[in-house]
Amino acid sequence: MVSSAALIYLLVGFVGGLAVEFFIIRASVSIRLLAHPNERSFHTVPTPTAGGLAFVIPVLAFVALVAMERVLLAQGLFAGAALLALVSLWDDIRELPSALRFGCQVVAVAAVVWTLQLPWHWVWVGLIALGLLWHLNLFNFMDGIDGIAGVQCLLFCAGAQLLTGGMSGWMGDVMWLLMGGVLGFLVYNWPPAKIFMGDVGSAFLGLLLSLMVVDLWATGHLPLVASLILLAGFWFDATYTLCVRMITGQAFTQAHRSHLYQQVADRKGHRWTTTVFLLFGVVWLLPLAWLAVQLPDFGYIWLAAAVAPLAVAAVVFRAGIRPNLMEDEQYE
C-alpha cells in the first residue's frame, strides 16, 4: 500500500511539474528555449524545450536538503546532477562543443560513483562508471518522439517501487517526487507534444535512473537483472542501433533517425509508438522483472525473454539502417 508520505511527494512533484511547464511554454520565445527542427527530429516547427526542468528542479531541491544532512551519496548526486543539468540546459539554449559536454558528463558520473562507495574491485567499479556514462547518453538518443522518455522513467520507478514493496529512505522519496514531476511533464509532452524534455531532462534522467539501478543492486533491494528488464526498451534499442551503424560503416556519432522506435514512429506515428511502448512495459517487461525477483537463478533467461521481442522488431524494422541506405539496396 502506498504511504501518505509517498502520495504527498507524488502530488508535490505533479503540481510543481505542471507549474514549471506552464511557465516555460509561455516564456519559451523570450528566454530562447526553443527546439528547432534538425536531421534527427520529427517536429517541423520550433517547439518549446527544456521541459525536463519540471522534474529536475524539485528533485535537485530535495536532494540538496538530504545532502545538507551529510548523506554522502546525496552530496555526490547533487554535485553530479546539478553540473549535468546546468551544462545540458546551456546546450539546450546554445549548442556546446561535444568535448565540453562529454567532459562534464565524465565529471558528473565520477562524482556519483565515488560517493556510492561500492565495496567491489576497481575493475567492476570502472565498468559500472562506463555503464552510467553510456546510459546517460543513450537516454538522450532515445528521447526522440513525444512521451517515450517520460514513459520509460515511469515504468522503471513504478516497477521498482512495486517489486521492492515500496522503497523506504530518501531514495524512495526521490522516486515518488520524480514520478510526480514526470507525470506533470507528460501532460504537456504526450503526443502531440506542446513541449520537449530537452537535454536537461534526458541527461538528468539517464544519470539518475542508472544510479538508482546500481544503488538498488548494491543494497540488495532489487537484482540487477530485474532493473535491466524494466529498462530494456531503451538500452537494447540504443545499443543494437549503435552496433548496426558501426558494423555497416555509418558515421555513428552523427545525429540520425534509425533507432527502432524512430523507424516504428515513421510508420505508425508518435502516439501509437509510445502507447505500445507503455503496454509492452506493463504487460511483458514488468511480469518478467517480477520473475527475476522471485526466481533469480533464472535471471538471464528472463532477461533474454525480455529483449527477444525487441530483437525481432529491430530486425523487421531494420533498426540502425538509414533510410537512404535501404532505398539504395532496393535498386541494386
Q: Please write the tens of the pLDDT for every residue from 20-61.
A: 999 999 888 777 777 776 655 565 578 899 999 999 999 999
Helix axes 232-247, 260-268, angle to 10 degrees: 100
**pTM attached to this predicted model:** 0.93
Consecutive sets of 10 residues in the chain, 332 residues long: mean pLDDT of each?
88 95 86 70 75 96 95 96 96 91 96 91 93 95 94 98 92 97 96 94 97 95 97 97 91 83 94 97 98 96 98 95 50 28
pLDDT number for residue 328: 35
Signed CA dihedral, 309, 313, 316, 320: sign only:
negative
Render pLDDT for 261-294 as a digit per residue (tens, 0 to 9): 999 999 999 999 999 999 999 999 999 999 999 9
pLDDT number for residue 39: 59
pLDDT number for residue 37: 66
pLDDT number for residue 40: 59
Signed CA dihedral, 175, 176, 181, 183: sign only:
positive
Cα distance between residue 256 and residue 233, in whole Å: 18
C-alpha cell at 302: 528472463
Question: Which residues, at least 6 apart from 41, have a Cβ–Cβ distance to it below 8 Å?
Answer: 35, 144
Would you say 95 and 198 are in contact if contact means Cβ atoms under 8 Å apart? no
Q: How far is CA 177 from CA 216, 275, 324, in A?
A: 17, 23, 43
DSSP 14-64: HHHHHHHHHHHHHHTTTTT-EEPP-SS---SS-EE--TTHHHHHHHHHHHH
Render pLDDT for 94-110 as a digit per residue (tens, 0 to 9): 889 999 999 999 999 99
pLDDT number for residue 270: 94
Would you say 243 and 252 are in contact if contact means Cβ atoms under 8 Å apart? no
Q: What is the DSSP letter of 297?
A: G
Residue with cell 511539474: 17
Rounded to 5°, angle at Cα 7 from 5 and 13: 105
Return the closest-CA partner of residue 53 out of 141, 184, 143, 168.
184
pLDDT number for residue 325: 45
Helices (H) and strands (E) in the chain, counts: 15, 2
Cα distance between residue 242 and residue 230, in whole Å: 20
Give the three-state DSSP class for 94: coil
C-alpha cell at 184: 506533470
Cα distance between residue 240 and residue 249, in whole Å: 14
Neighbours of 144 (CB within 10 A): 21
Give the three-state DSSP class for 257: coil
pLDDT number for residue 332: 30
